[in-house]
Every structure is written in C-alpha cells, then in structure tokens.
A and B are shown apart, each in its own frame.
Chain A
Amino acid sequence: MALDFPFKDNTQETSLIKHRVVFTGVIIVLLMLLIISRLIYLQFIQHEHYITLSQNNRVKILPIPPIRGLIYSRDGILLAENQPAFSLEIVPERIDDLDKVIKDLSEYVTIEKNDVERFKKLLKEKRRFESVPLRYNLNEQEVARFSVNQHHFPGVEVIARPYRRYPLKDEVSHAIGYVGRVDEQDLEQLDKSNYIGTTHTGKFGAEKAYENLLHGKVGYQQVEINAQGRIIRVLERTPPEPGKDIYLTLDISLQLTAVEALAGKRGAIIALDPDNGDVLAMVSSPSYDPNPFVNGIDFKAYRALLQSSDKPLINRVLQGKYPPGSTIKPFLGAAALAYSAVDPSETIWCPGWYSLKGSTHRYRDWKKYGHGHVDLNYSIMQSCDVYFYTLAHELGIDRIHDALTDFGFGRTTDIDIGGESSGLVPSDEWKRKTYHQPWYPGETLIVGIGQGSILATPLQLAVATASLANHGHLVSPRLVYEARDPITNEIESLQNKKQKSVSLYKESHWKTIVQAMEDVVHGDRGTARRSGMGAPYHFAGKTGTAQVIGIAQDEEYDEKAISERFKDHALFIAFGPVEDPRIALAIIVENGGSGSRTAAPIARQLLDHYLINDKINAG
C-alpha cells in the first residue's frame, strides 16, 4: 500500500527553518538599527533643539473652575456673591522643610494653630505639585508684609481667589445655607471631572439644593509654562460656563421685618404665597453667620454653635417639630364638616371641662368656668377646648389621621431645598407599631386640641394654612423660582414639585372655616381681636398655645413661677386679605407664653408690612 504522504524530510526542514530564523535575526537587527538611528537623531543630533523645547516650551493643560452663580432675592437684593480674597498658598513639592517655612511665615502673617491643622489635613488630600492654602482672608497689611519678603519663600504665594460671601450674614442663612470646601463625601456624589479645580460646593439650603445650577461647567486652558512651572502664555482656552444666578422667592423687606420681630427670641416665621407656594419669608431664630463656614469654621466657634441650647444651626421652619396646639382646630373643624361629624349650627354646652362616658377624668378647658353654649364658629373664635374634645371624640383618631394627612401634616411638604422633617400625625396603627399598645380614646381628645403626640413643623402649618386660604389647593413650597444665565440673560423658570388638592371638602366648608378664622381676628370675642384692631384689610387667623410640660389636673398654670424654658409655645397661623389671600403665615415663638399675646401681634406687623406697603408700591 502506497503512503499518502512522503516521509518528513527532517534535515531539509531543519535547514529551511534555520535559514528563516537567520533571516529573521538579520531583519530584527536591521529594524533595531533603525530605532537606534532614530534615537541618535533625537538624542544626539537634535538634542539642543529638544532640550530648548523642554525648557521653554512646556504645554500644560489646566482646568478653569467656573464662577459660581449668584443668589438674589425676588426684589433683586444680592444674597450670595463671589468676592476676591487673598489666600496664602504653598506648593509642597517645592518646599524642603514645611514646618520651618510655616514658622518663618508666621513672622509676617498671622498663622494660628488651627490654620496649620487644616493645612496638614488638606496636604494629605492634594498632590505634591498642587498648591495648598495655609491661610485665608489675608488683610492688606499681611499681603504687603509677605510680598516684600516673598523672595525668601520660593513655593509660597499669595493668590487672589473668589470666595463666597453672604452680605446679609445671619438674616437669611437658614434659607440660603452656605458653601464649604469639597470633601470626599461630596466627591462621591459630584461629577468628578466637572469639579476639577472647584474648591467649594453647596452644603445646606438653596446652595446645596441648586448646586447643579449654581456650579456651572469647568473650562480648560492650554498654557506654556517655564521650568519653574509659571505660566508664560495661554495657547488655547475653552472658557468655563459660569453657574446660573438663582432668584429666591424671598421678599427681603418682609424677611428683615420678620427677623426683627423674632430678635432675641427663639422661634420661627414662615410666610407663603398661597397661590404658588413661594416662600416670602423664612426665619429661624436665633440664626448664625454663614461666612465663617465657607473656608472652614474653627473648631471652637463651631462647637459653641453646636452646643448652644438655643440651637442656632437648626432651621426651625423645616426641622422644628412642635405640638400645633389650638392652631390645629380649623383643620379639625373642616374635617368634621367633611365627615359630617358635626352640624355647624348646633351648639354644645361647655362647663369648662369634658369627661368621657364612664370616666371621672376631667379634660379641662383653658377657660376655667367654661364658654357656655358653643357652636363651631364660636369654638374656633374663642378656641373652646371642650367643643374640640367632643368633635375629636366624634371623629375618632383614624379619621383625624386621614384628614390631617390630607392637609399635609405628618409628611414632608416637598419644599425645593429639602432637609425637612415630616412631623407626626398619630394613629391607632402608628401607636401599635411604635409602642405595641392600643390607642386610648383619651388620647384622641388631646390630639383634638393639638397636644399629645401630634407634631408639626412651622412649614407644614403654613402650607396647610395656605390651603385654607385658597380653598383646598395644597401647594408645595419653593424658595427658588427662576435661574438666569449670567451671559445670555436667558431665564429659566423653575416649577414646583407637585400640586395636590385637599379632597372631600365642599366650598361651603371652606367658607365656614374661613369665616370662623376671620372672626378670631375681627370678631368682638375673637382670641386675636386685639391684633386685628384697626387693620385696613381683613385677615383670618388662629391662635395656639402649646404646652411644653404636662399640667396636672386642677393645677393652676402660673406663668411667673415656672422657668422660662417650660413656658408655653406661642403660635399663630394667618392669611390675608380674606377676600383675595396673598400671604399665608405660620409663626411660633418658643416659650412665648400665649399665641394671642405674643405670636398674633407679629403676624399683624408682617401683614401690615406686606399688604399695606405693597399697596403703596402698586399704587
């Protein structure tokens, strides 16, 4: 049988492969010689040319951070600006003995211990060739003293950079918030490539909520630098897109009036436009100056703010949770109408106390000997507790829970700047979940007068009040209404998050409740009649006095005897003018005593300011 394949000729194959390998070797040597000749050309023949290029013609790409957008109020007042400030910066790569240089520098510039600490911290985060700030906000003498001696300090420079400044200091700080240095936590949430070169980012308030509008887009420049790393000229520039200017809904003159009204007190004022939820004033008192936070507040000052029993850092409007007291009554009254739990014209007898059937416990009215015959209108006007014990008992806790939730209590209002607490509207289910205990009917009565476990933020009260003003339209509040491009002046209107309606209610229900609230102010027996006297417009309101501590049965409440901190919170909600509401308010003065005496006069002052002054302007 013939073989299909010839025998492999090993010697022939071996020599064939050997030839090819030798050929390959020759090619490899030739190609390497090509590389070597190229290297000789570059490194020997053209060396002078390239060494010059490397010394003089160094092209570097540098990021240009965008300029942060400004913040204005609706009346055009500048609330946050960028101001150049001098900082002393060090490039660590060019310094041999950092500690010695810092010590020497302190002869010309004040350098405190916390400056050094902050510098050392920043040093770890930055790369060695990046300049690290040692001191911010040098004054002119310091700049001059350093500049004269700069030649002693290679690698140390005074650099003018724009820093955020809040001209109104503590007067709008809770609304605007502030910017601070970008930290690692921020970087996780930010687009890193867009934040190359950006040192500050919004930390709280509108500065944080509108960070993406305010920041803008990073730019680049290609520059020639010399051997010392100094820029000789700019070759090409992709300019940054500056951040958008944002306009707050705040009416600054109203805001300042509110700040003044709360001066020296702890409390909160929030004013809304009931039509669109625009925040006209937002004051939490006491407040703080945001300017020191921009470049890192020193630890001692920060601790003082943090530990102060007045809690200046807390925005009470969004985060303060208070028992609403009697200000809850109009909403419960509306709920009772909607569920047909009461007939508005029917009266009950108020002897000054209320007892559940089969119990001897007396739930007291604020008026010791009672209001006598009381209908719904009178019960709101006079803030009769017994009427609302009865009403709450009729409604039951679950219907109260549903109705109050409908008015926005117990959930966030979706204000654009965020950071609010949701308060609490108790229910049977809530109590079983939280305390593993059933709900007792007595607790319903307490909730009926806005005490017990129910908690609301001033913002929730204002939003709910606005919904009474516009007959059931629940607006979500906003602090920023538009953004403008600083170059093109193009205006971008910002929309509210969502608009809801309070369901269940009829027009007649709104009229009944609003009438009762108008009578609180303008009726001859209204609890706030003194604040309504002589007003050229009609407004509606409701006083509230929330107990801070429980008062035992039959114990007299002696305002003078108990310490300041245990005094009742004074509350007032209002809107006006009644026929065409343009402003809705919620005011709380912590430990202010009574709503009618402390909070209502503030409301009158603000309404006068907003409604009368505006009329003059319009006229």
Chain B
Amino acid sequence: MEEKTLAKRLHIDVPLLFGLLVLCGIGLVVLYSAAGQDLQVVFRQAIRMGIALVLMFCVAQFSPIQLERWSLWIYLGGVSLLVAVLLFGDVGKGAQRWLDLGFFRFQPSEIMKLAVPMVIAWFLAGNHLPPTIGRIIFSCVLVIVPVVLIAKQPDLGTALLVGAAGFSVLFISGIGWRFITGFSLIIALCAPVLWHFMHEYQKRRVLTFLDPEQDPLGAGYHTIQSKIAIGSGGLYGKGWLNGTQSHLEFLPERSTDFIFAVFCEEFGLMGVLLLIVLYMFIIFRGLIIAVSAQQTYGKLLAAGFVMTFFVYVFVNMGMVTGQLPVVGVPLPMISLGGTSIVTLMIAFGILMSINTHRRMLSD
C-alpha cells in the first residue's frame, strides 16, 4: 500500500480545493464592489463560505458506499419536506420556499439538488447499464416528482437545476440516443401545457427574453441594463469599484443573480475569460474524478454534480448576457447568498469523497 499524503488522509482533492478557494476569493472581491463597498456584507458572505467549506470537509469524510446507502432516505426525506413546505411553508418574496424550524429557516428544494442525482445514481448503479426502459421511466418519475413540487412553490430556477441534475445522471448512465430524442420531443410538446401553468411573472420573463426591447422599463429592464453593463466594460473593464452601471444603481440584483454583469463591467473581457477558465478548470477536474471513479455510483453521481455545476454557470451567464430568459439562478460561489454555496460545497465534498476513498477500496 502506497504512502498516503496528508491531503489523501483528510480526503481532500487539492486541485479542486484550490479552484474553489480562488473562486470564493474572486467572489468576495466582486461582492465588495457590487454591494456598494459594504464590508459587513462581504464579511457575512465570507462566514457563509467558511461554513460551506467546513461542511464540504465533513461530507468528504464519508465513503461513497455510505452515501450510496443513504441516497434513498435522503431523497424520501427531501420530498416529504417539500410537501411540508407547500403545506406550512413561509412565504418569502412572493414564493413559498422556506421552512421555518424555529431556530433557522431553510429551503428544502436545495436538498433536492443533491438528493435527486444521488437517488438516480443509486437506482441505476444497482443494475446493469445501460438501463432498461422500465428503469428509465421510473427514474424520470423520481426526477419529475420533486421538480413539479418545486415549480409549484414557485421556483423555476431551482426546479430547472434539480431537473438538470437528475437527467444528467440518466444521460451519463448511457441511455440510448433514441430515448434522448424522444424525451426532447415530449418536452417540446409539453411546452404549451407548461406555459399554461406558469405564473404571470414567469410568462413575462419568457416573453421579455424573446423581445427585451418590448418593455424596456418594465420586465426587460434587467436584461437591457445588464447588457449595457457588460458591453460598456469592453476588453479591459472599467476597473474594480468603477462600474458606473452598478454603482449608479441601474443594475438590479447586482449583488445576487446579476453579479456577473458587475464582474464583466469592471474587469472586461480579459477578466471574464480568466473567470471562465477557472470554472472550466473546476468542471474538468470534476469530470476526471467521474471517469476515474471506481464504483458506478460514484461515476454517475460525480458526473451528475459536475453537470449541475455547469448548468448553474451556463444558465446564469446565459441570462445575464441576454441569451436565456431571466430565471433565478445564481453564479456559483460569486453571487451573494448562502444556500447555493452550501449545497454546491457539499456536492464538491462528495466529489472529494469519491476521489479519495477510491484507492482504499481497491486494495
């Protein structure tokens, strides 16, 4: 048995940790500017990041075998909490997402971002791959039930991410291309039905996405202002703390969902390319972990998490640059807010666990 490094002993993946820490650092720097140079806000965010990192280390200590065993229970627990939210949840900002446990409030929908890929990986890894039709259909049900529950809250952004997480695992498991095309067709056919069930503000967002100039001061305001912020940043940006769009308060939600626009305005195209390289580094490190994982469960889950992380990045950047409709998806590790960071860090903790518990099992 080879000598274990300290990192291995602690179940840490050094490249991944390095990438995440740099990303968090960038996040705090941008946040200081976006939040109007309020050190308090930055400090609180740093504390959230610290908590998330600690959780990541803790989760990394569990072996993938243990995680596989808990998958179903976490999933069932999460679904019951979602039902509880619909029944007794707190209404915050017009949507019913929070569950008040007396001492703290949290969003059960966040759990599902982890629990859905876990349960699908568990369900599919138990049998021969590629999965049979029956298994594929049952997996779809496992994904769709929480997605519908979350969309009902209504939280379109999270529903999208949870769905993406579940279907990513299905895709990695090697389902046939016929299913993938068929499935895409069904979604295309369902779109009008979905439209019917959407909330007014969700419809407006989609319409605005199709033609933002239609309503420049109402629903299209976000997109137009963020495009001006990005475009005016140019190649090298206006410099840190000098973004006029954000500092003169033209850009709405500039410390949360639209923080990417602040980044683009202040650091320019060169800065953004560096940021994208950093994200790609993390993503590819994750994909390598997925490929080299020993257990099928680990492979499926790691790939699923990495794809979810990518969907976060892509959807946020797509909506801020005006290529996708405005859905509430934060830019991972950079947007202000604790919940998504905690969830993602736990996912990376699982990735580290998959990577570092590998060799011990092989002997």
Q: Contact flags (1/0) for B303-336 with A, using CB distance below 8 Å?
A: 1001100100010011001110000000000000
- Interface of chain B residues 233 through 292 with chain A (CB within 8 A): 233-235, 244-245, 248-250, 264, 268-269, 272-273, 276, 279-280, 283-284, 287, 290-291
Interface bits A42-64 vs B (CB < 8 Å: 1, else 0)? 11101101110111011110000
Interface string of B173-195 (1 = CB under 8 A from A): 11000000000000000000000
State whether the Cβ of A17 lies closer than 8 Å to any Cβ in chain B. yes
Can you name the residue of chain A whose Cβ is closest to the Cβ of B265? A54
Whether A43 lies near B323 (C-beta < 8 A) is no
Interface positions of A from 11 to 27, Cβ below 8 Å from B: 13-14, 16-21, 24-25
The digit string for B217-243, where 1 denotes a CB below 8 A from any CB of A, is: 100010001011111111100000000
A236 within 8 A of B: yes
Q: How far is the CB of A236 from chain B (nearest CB, A)?
A: 6
Within 8 A of B (CB), among A225-251: 225, 227, 229, 235-236
Among the stretches A32-40, A558-566, A589-597, the one at the interface with B is A32-40
Q: A20's contact among B128, B171, B273, by CB below 8 Å, is which?
A: B171
B232 to chain A: which residues have CB within 8 Å? 47, 50-51, 53-55
Please list 29 pairs of residues, one from A and one from B, whose beta carbons are closer than 8 Å in the complex, sorted by A's number. Answer: A17-B173, A17-B296, A17-B299, A21-B172, A21-B303, A24-B171, A24-B287, A25-B284, A28-B307, A31-B310, A31-B314, A32-B280, A32-B314, A35-B317, A39-B321, A42-B321, A43-B264, A43-B268, A47-B235, A50-B230, A50-B232, A51-B231, A51-B232, A53-B231, A54-B228, A59-B221, A127-B36, A229-B248, A236-B217
Q: For the complex, what is the distance from the CA of A39 to the CA of B271, rounded to whole Å?
A: 11
Q: A5-B128, A35-B323, A53-B228 are in contact. Are A43 and B217 (CB under 8 A)?
A: no
A39:B303 contact, CB within 8 angstroms: no
Chain B residue at minimal CB-CB distance from A227? B244
Min CB–CB distance A509 → chain B (angstroms): 60
Q: CB-CB < 8 A to A16: which residues of B? A: 129-130, 174
The answer to whether residues A50 and B231 also contact, given A24-B171, A59-B217, A229-B248 and a CB cut-off of 8 A, is yes
Contact assessment for A6 and B128 in the assembled complex, using a CB-CB cutoff below 8 Å:
yes
Name A's B-contacting residues (CB within 8 A).
Answer: 5-6, 8-9, 13-14, 16-21, 24-25, 28-29, 31-32, 34-36, 38-40, 42-44, 46-47, 49-51, 53-55, 57-60, 127-129, 222, 225, 227, 229, 235-236
Known: A13-B296, A50-B230. A5 touches B127 (CB 8 A): yes
| A44 with B172, Cβ < 8 A, contacts A17-B129, A21-B287, A28-B283 known | no
Q: Are A28 and B273 in contact (CB under 8 A)?
A: no
Contact with A along B119-161 (1 / 0, CB 8 A): 0000000011110000000000000000000000000000000
Most chain B beta-carbon contacts within 10 A, residue among A24, A34, A225: A24
Interface residue B300 (Cβ < 8 Å from any Cβ of A): yes
B248 and A58 form a contact (CB under 8 A):
yes
Please determine whether B231 and A42 come into contact, CB atoms closer than 8 angstroms.
yes
A60-B248 in contact given A50-B227, A50-B231, A51-B232 (Cβ < 8 Å): yes
Closest-CB distance, B313 to chain A (whole angstroms): 8
Within 8 Å CB of B171, what residues of A? 20, 24
- CB closest chain-B residue, reference A28: B310
From A235, which residue of chain B is reached at the shortest CB distance?
B217
- Shortest beta-carbon distance from A358 to chain B in Å: 68
Whether B128 lies near A8 (C-beta < 8 A) is yes
For A19, the chain B residues whose CB sits under 8 A away are: 174
Q: Which residues of A contact B300 (CB under 8 A)?
A: 17
Task: Give 9 A-B pairs besides A16-B130, A18-B291, A24-B307 with Cβ atoms closer than 8 angstroms.
Answer: A5-B127, A16-B129, A35-B321, A39-B272, A47-B231, A51-B232, A59-B225, A225-B248, A229-B248
CA distance A47 to B129 in the complex (A): 50
Chain A residues with CB under 8 Å of B221's CB are 59
Residues of B within 8 A of A58 (CB): 244, 248, 250
Chain A facing B: main interface SS: helix
Q: Shortest beta-carbon distance, B177 to chain A, in Å?
A: 10
The answer to whether A43 and B231 have CB atoms under 8 Å apart is yes
Q: Is the CB of A35 within 8 A of B250?
A: no
**Chain A hits for B225, CB < 8 A:** 59
* Chain B contact residues: helix, strand, loop or mixed: helix
**Which 4 pairs from chain A and chain B are nearest by CB?**
A50-B231, A54-B232, A16-B174, A43-B269
Q: Which residues of B contact A (CB under 8 A)?
A: 36, 127-130, 168, 171-174, 216-217, 221, 225, 227-235, 244-245, 248-250, 264, 268-269, 272-273, 276, 279-280, 283-284, 287, 290-291, 296, 299-300, 303, 306-307, 310, 314, 317-318, 321-323
The one of B234, B250, B299 in contact with A47, judged by C-beta atoms closer than 8 angstroms, is B234
- CB contact between A13 and one of B129, B168, B248 (< 8 Å): that residue: B129
Which residues of A are found within 8 Å of B172, using beta-carbon distances?
Answer: 17, 20-21, 24
A145 to B235, alpha carbons, bound, how many Å? Answer: 47
Shortest CB-to-CB span from B68 to chain A, Å, is 15
**Closest Cβ of chain A: how far from B300's Cβ, in Å?**
7
Please report the C-alpha to C-alpha distance between residue A101 and residue B221 in the assembled complex, in whole angstroms. Answer: 38
Q: Are A54 and B269 in contact, CB atoms less than 8 angstroms apart? A: no
Question: Are B230 and A20 in contact, with the CB atoms below 8 A?
Answer: no
| Smallest CB gap from B250: residue in A | A58
A49, B231: Cβ atoms closer than 8 Å: yes
Q: Which residue of A lies closest to B130 (CB)?
A: A16
Q: Determine the chain A residues whose CB is within 8 A of the CB of B216 once the complex forms.
A: 59
Residues of A with C-beta under 8 A to B318: 35
A304–B233 Cα distance when bound, in Å, is 59
Partner of B250, one of A13, A17, A59: A59
CB distance from A227 to the nearest CB of B (A): 7
A16 to B272, CA, bound (A): 34
- Is the Cβ of B287 less than 8 Å from the Cβ of A43? no
Q: A225 vs B247: C-alpha distance in the bound complex, in angstroms?
A: 13
In the complex where A17-B129, A24-B172, A236-B217 touch, is A39 in contact with B245 (Cβ < 8 A)?
A: no
Knowing A16-B174, A24-B172, A229-B248 are in contact, say whether A43-B230 is a contact too (CB < 8 A). Answer: yes
How far does the Cβ of A170 sit from chain B's closest Cβ, in whole Å? 44
Give Cα A301 to B112, complex, Å: 65
Q: Say how far B244's CB is from chain A's closest CB, in angstroms.
A: 6
- Measured between C-beta atoms, what is the minimum distance from B318 to chain A in Å? 7
Give Cα A405 to B110, complex, Å: 63
In angstroms, Cα B249 to Cα A58, docked, is 10
Q: Which residue of chain A has its CB nearest to the CB of B249?
A: A60
With contacts A17-B299, A222-B217 known, is A46 near B231, CB below 8 A? yes
Which single residue of chain A is at the shortest CB-CB distance from B270?
A: A43
In the complex the two chains form, what is the Cα distance from A326 to B248 in whole Å? 70
A31 surroundings in chain B (CB, below 8 A): 310, 314
B236 to chain A, nearest CB (A): 10
User: Chain B CB within 10 Å — which of A6, A36, A39 has the most?
Assistant: A39
Hey, which chain B residues are within 8 Å of A29, CB to CB?
Answer: 280
B287 in contact with A35 (CB, 8 Å): no
Q: Which residue of B lies closest to A222 (CB)?
A: B217
A6 — nearest CB in chain B belongs to which residue?
B128
Q: How far is the CB of B63 from chain A (nearest CB, A)?
A: 19
Select A50's contact among B128, B228, B303, beta carbons within 8 Å. B228
A70, B233: Cα distance in complex, Å = 50
CA distance A419 to B244 in the complex (A): 50
A179 to chain B, nearest CB (A): 29
Q: CB-nearest residue of chain A relative to B225?
A: A59
Does A35 contact B276, Cβ atoms closer than 8 Å? yes
Q: Return A318 CB to nearest CB of chain B, in Å.
A: 43
A39 in contact with B128 (CB, 8 Å) = no
- Given the known inter-chain contacts A21-B172, A53-B228, A236-B217, please indicate yes or no for A38 contacting B287, CB distance below 8 A: no
Q: CB within 8 A of B269: which of A40, A225, A229?
A: A40
Chain A residues closer than 8 Å to B228, beta-carbon distance: 50, 53-54, 57
Q: How far is the CA of A42 from the CA of B264 in the complex (A)?
A: 10
CA distance A188 to B203 in the complex (A): 36
The closest CB in chain B to the CB of A229 belongs to B248
Please give me the residue from chain A that is nearest to B234 by CB atom: A47
Q: Please, how many angstroms separate the alpha-carbon atoms of A49 and B235 in the complex? A: 14
Complex partner residue of B245 from A21, A24, A54, A229, CB under 8 angstroms: A54
Determine which of B235, B290, B307 lies in contact with A44 in the assembled complex, contact meaning CB atoms within 8 Å.
B235
